[in-house]
Every structure is written in C-alpha cells, then in structure tokens.
Amino acid sequence: MIEVDIEEEKKEIIRRYRRLLRYAKPILKDGDAKIIKRAFNLSMDAHKDMRRKSGEPYIFHPIEVAQICVTEIGLGTTSIVSALLHDVVEDTEISLDEIERRFGTKVARIIDGLTKISGVFEQGSSQQAENFRKMLLTLSDDVRVILIKLADRLHNMRTLGSMPRDKQLKIANETIYLYAPLAHRLGLYAIKSELEDLYLKYTDRDAYNHIALNINSTKDARNKFIRNFIKPIRDVLNEQPFRYEIKGRPKSIHSIHNKMRKQNVPFEEVYDLFAIRIIVDTDLANEKAACWQVYSIVTDYYQPNPDRLRDWISIPKANGYESLHTTVMSGRGQWVEVQIRTRRMDEIAEKGYAAHWKYKESKNSDADKGLEMWIGKVREILEQNDSTAIEFVDDFRSSLFQDEVFTFTPKGDLRTLPHGATALDFAFDIHSEVGAHCLGAKVNQKLVPLNYVLKNGDQVEILTSKKQKPNEDWLNFVVSSKAKSRIKDSLKEEKKQFIAEGREIVRRKLKQLKIDFSQEALEQLVDFFNMKTPSELMYQIGKGKIDHNQIKKFNDKKEKEVEHKYKRVRDPKAMQTQIKKVREENLDLLLIGEDMDVIDYKFAKCCNPIPGDDVFGFVTINDGIKIHRTTCPNAAELLSNYGYRVVKAKWTSSQDKAFVAILKIIGTDRIGLINDVTNVISSENQVNMRSITVNTEGGIFEGEIQLYVTDTNHVDYLISNLENVTGVVSVSRDS
C-alpha cells in the first residue's frame, strides 16, 4: 500500500488553489474572490474523504477543471464556482437547494445541467446518451454548462491513464464520438485537438507514439525550415504600421494520423505537417484590409495553390471562426499552410464561444451570429423530445457539421447549411411548411430536383405545391437535423396507422399458428425478417411490403431449428441475463482462444480481429458476442451508445488456429510482380491465401489479399517481407 503524506497533499491543494486565483485575478470583480473561496471550502469539505483512481485527493479534479475554464476557455467567476462544485450534488450529501441558497440560481442551474442522471433507461438506449440530452437541455439557458462539461471531460482524458482498460476505451470513444465534435462546433480548436490526440493515445498507442516520436525527432529541422521560410516575409512586415506575431506549429497527432490513413502514406509523405500562423494587431475597422495585405506579402515570395485559398473573414464559419488560409510552395518544393488572422480572431479561434462575450459590444455583431443560429437549431432538435436518446444523439451529431456550404435566397439573404445539403434541406431551412410542400427548386435560374446537392454561392428558389407531401425517400437525401426531424414528424402519423394494422395482422397470424404474441416471439420475427425493431416489422407488414403469409415460413423454420449451444438474446431481460452470465463466469473478462465452450463468440466482419489485436466483446441482440478491434470503424458508436453491452476481452492462446487478415498492396506495375508477391506469401512464410484481387492502371499496381494468419506478429512479419519486394511501395492491413 502506498503511504500518503497528508501534509504535503494539503500544501499541494493550496498551491493549486492559489494558482487558480492568480490566473483568475484579471477577470475578478469586488467580492468575487470571497465567493470562489466559499465554493472551494465547500468542495474541499464535501470531497475530503474521496480519492480518484490514481490515488490523488478528489479535490484536485474540480480545481483543475476550474483552471481549464479560466486559462483555456476564458470563463469567469460563475463558471469557476460551478466548476469547483460540479460533482458535489452527484457524489456527496449536499443538495441542489443548498447550492442555490448559498451561491444563487445561476450556479445551481449550471450544476443541475452538469449533474448526471441516475435511474432506469429504456432498452437499446444508453445512460451516456440520456446524460448528454439532459446536459444539452440547459444549452438554451446557459452555454457555460457545455463549456464546463468540456473542461471536465478534458481533465478526465488527461488523467485517463489510471483507469482500467475497458473504462479507458469507453471514455475515449465517447470523447471522439461526441465531445471532440462539440468542442469543434463551439470553436474550441485547442481543446478539440487535444481531445482527439488523447483519444488516439488510449485507443491506438502504437500509432500515437510513432507520430509523436517523429514530430519530436524532426523538431530542429522544422524550426530551421520555419525560420528560413518566414525571414523574407518578416523583413517586409517590419515596415508595416501594425504589430504582428508569427508562430509555426505542427498539425495535431490525430490529424496527421488521419491523413496517413486516408492517403495511405507514411509520416514522411504527409506534405502539410505544420502550419505558419501570422497574427496581426490592428483595430476592428482595418482587420480585413490588414489580413489581405499580409496575404499579398506572403504570395509575393511564395506561389499559392489557387485551390487551397479559404476566406473565412468575408464569410466566417458557423462557429464564429475567422481566418484567411492559403497553401503556398516553399523554396524547397514543400507545401506550407499559412493562416492569417488578427489578435481578436486568434483569441476566438482558441477560446471559442467564451471569447465572443469579450467582443460582443463591438461593432462586429456578426462575430457570434453563426453560433446563435446554431444554438437555435439545437433548440429545435431538443424540442423533438419524443425520439429515443440514441436517435437524439445521432441527430445532434449531424448538426456538428465541420464544413458548411454558403447559399443565397432569391433576395440575396445568406443561408449556411451543412456540407452535402440538398435543395430539400434549403427548403426546410426556410420554413417547415415550405419544406413539406417542396416540389423542386431553381438553382441559379435552372430547374433542379429535390436531391440536388448545393454548392457554395448557389442562389436557390424553392418551388412548392399544396398537393406535395413528404415521403420516406426524402430521408435519403437530406442531411440537416431540421429537415430530418420535420420529415419524420410528417411521416409519424401515417406510420402509426400502418404499425397498428401490422400489429393486428401479426397477432392474428400468430394466433392461427398457436404461438403466443410475446416479446420473445416478436424478437424472433424481427430476426427472421432481418428488421431492426418490432415497430419497423409491423410497419412493413401493415404497408404490405412484407407478405403476412411469410409468417408461416418463420414458424416452419422455428420448428426445425436446433437449440444453439448458447442462448440468444431475445429481449431486454435476456440481454441483461446474458451480460451477467458472461461477467460472472468469466470474472468480467472474455478469454478468446482455447477452452471457450461456456460463452460463444464470433469475430466482427467490420474489422476482422486476429490474435494480438487490442479487442473488446460486444453483446449483440441476436448473434451472441461479437469481438471487435478497439480501432474498429464502429468502435466509437458502440462504446459511446451501448457501453453497458461491452465486455472486456483478451487473447489466451491461438495455437493451430487461423484468422483472416486483409492486406492492401500498392506498387509500380512490372512483369512478374504478382508472382513475386505470391511466392513471398506462400513459399517463404507458409501462409495460405483465401483470395487475391489485383487492379493495374497507368502503371500503378493495387492489390487486396485475404490470407490466413495466426496473430499480429505473423502479419507484421509478412508485411515486412512484402515491402522488400521490388516495385512494392506500401503494404497495410485493412480494417
């Protein structure tokens, strides 16, 4: 047991508290320090006997969350007090009424929004999704709830190393699924980047360490390159009437990793590894002119890429981000991204929504108009409170679009929509009734269909008809939350009628077949017809898309089925029983390999795990336990929305067992290349191939090989050998 030096801990708590006050001092008004001290003392007393998983006193956490609120987001006294007290209602005996009595309504409302819900949740939902909805309900009242929650999540991610592996995976995936996009949407780029990097650190540590090591090892060369690059620009800027600052920074580890994966290139071949930022000190009236003047100076020395110019000064992003981006060719033949912005724009880019309040009284009232519009859209989603928590989170995530398309009404009013939005999205953005009766549109005076994808600068006129009404196909070509929710609302009444008719047909048919109309029978029918939910099945039958006579075929199949060696999960109770059984019999750990007769499992086809991969088990509705890689494309959604169905898993032994791995090979085409590749696989490495597909075009060879391997070491050895084949440029394992 580790001995704790209580006196040293007390000194450290006071040191952290004083550091918080020191950073908060510039924003404190008369009496604020006393309020913060009262909050600190209450939090200290409430958490006095509590410790975090790391063994540290719990009070460290609220102090650090308050510190993030001040230094990294720029929030004030109310937020500091709320951050210090954010866990006391949930974790201690102190009530919300007491908080309100001692610190006022605002603080109480914020803490209420931050406090987790406890209780029973509907099957197929998840506690995290419900908590997220509850938190967002406070958004229309006070955006500080979300900002403090992001600070709380950031500190939890920074200290994730002390948590068990399964908790690390769940928290990291929730973060990438919801919190990082939310930070982006609120303009908190620094926090968003750190959350993404920490996600990668805990889900794919090898990739994270590889990139971090490369960034560090190339630091001196990068700094020298930046000095040489900015020298001629600096000489001219020194002659200008404004002050300026130039920064060079590497891209985030997560964004470099994404580029490596998407472009299938090694670290050395990611061309825009870093960006140069030029920050100008000038007054509001001259901001735009100063930024374009700097752009002119940069492009006097370096050739710009015309396709890579982004003007977010004339039309800011929907989250308020303003900047001028260009990519130029350096003297060494390397592309460099240059970001040009003013001091005000830089502060808003780093601290997001909170920084807007500092400039709110300024003439530039457009600074936070985009965010206000977005919050208005979130309120609309929140009003659709009859959807399940999972549907709500999906709708909300779709509103966290990172790219926008800027369009105009016939009168020239600007409308900002999600990237990929169609003419129908535009119609619903104008008004729900316009969308519901939309027949088509004229874009730039030309007639287009409803599913026409809008481009920047399009001028759109919507054509309507009273006879027109929404249909299900419309959901396939809208991307905005507003359009989706309004179409669903319109279809809901019609759907209810079909569901009721379908339910009656199923009830009648089951009665004829002498089968009880039970939850279990419904789940089996859903499985047989390959539907997602009983309601969907009833709807398809009620509408006549599924012939009700096929229920007899289901009965015939049911009678022939032999009981499987594991019990399928057919209903909510059975689901919980299955999870409990797994956890009891396997000590909360699913062992994959030999002697696994008690609980059956299958390998997920979406990521094809093999021994050596970091994996987790997921209890499915009707297919037992599926094993997924932690880097699986579906991991974030599964771990975020259905964490209660996740089972820890690890490999035991894989002797005499073969697993399918998929390798992608890219190279320059030559005679005999395929022969050399197959020889390496079958002769040198004693590996059996399942299939090979090859495509050659313009002298480039691309192949996909499915082969049987025993573990990840086997794959790594094979990749290493294949990379030595003449003409092979890259070999990678496909997920």
Catalytic residues: 90-91
**β-pair type (689-697, 414-418):** unpaired
Rounded to whole angstroms, the Cα distance separating 697 from 421 reads 34
For tokens 């507003």, the residue is 482
Take residue 208 and report the two structure tokens written for it: 């994270």
SS3 call for 712: helix
Rounded to whole angstroms, the Cα distance separating 145 from 135 reads 7
Long-range contacts: 503-509, Cβ < 8 Å, 24+?
Answer: 503/538, 503/542, 505/541, 505/542, 505/548, 506/537, 506/538, 506/541, 506/548, 506/551, 509/548, 509/551, 509/552
Contact between residue 194 and residue 247 where contact means Cβ atoms under 8 Å apart: no
**β-pair type (590-592, 646-651):** parallel
Rounded to whole angstroms, the Cα distance separating 650 from 592 reads 6
Q: What is the 3-state secondary structure (H, E, C) of 119-162?
A: CCCCCCCCHHHHHHHHHHHCCCCCCHHHHHHHHHHHHHHHCHHH
What DSSP line would sit under 607-618, residue for residue? T---TTS-EEEE
Rounded to whole angstroms, the Cα distance separating 67 from 144 reads 15
Take residue 265 and report the two structure tokens written for it: 């290139």
Rounded to whole angstroms, the Cα distance separating 626 from 603 reads 5
Query: CA of 391: how far to CAs of 124, 170, 488, 651, in Å?
Result: 11, 19, 12, 34
| Sign of the CA dihedral with 571 first, then 574, 580, and 582 last | negative
Contact between residue 195 and residue 169 where contact means Cβ atoms under 8 Å apart: no
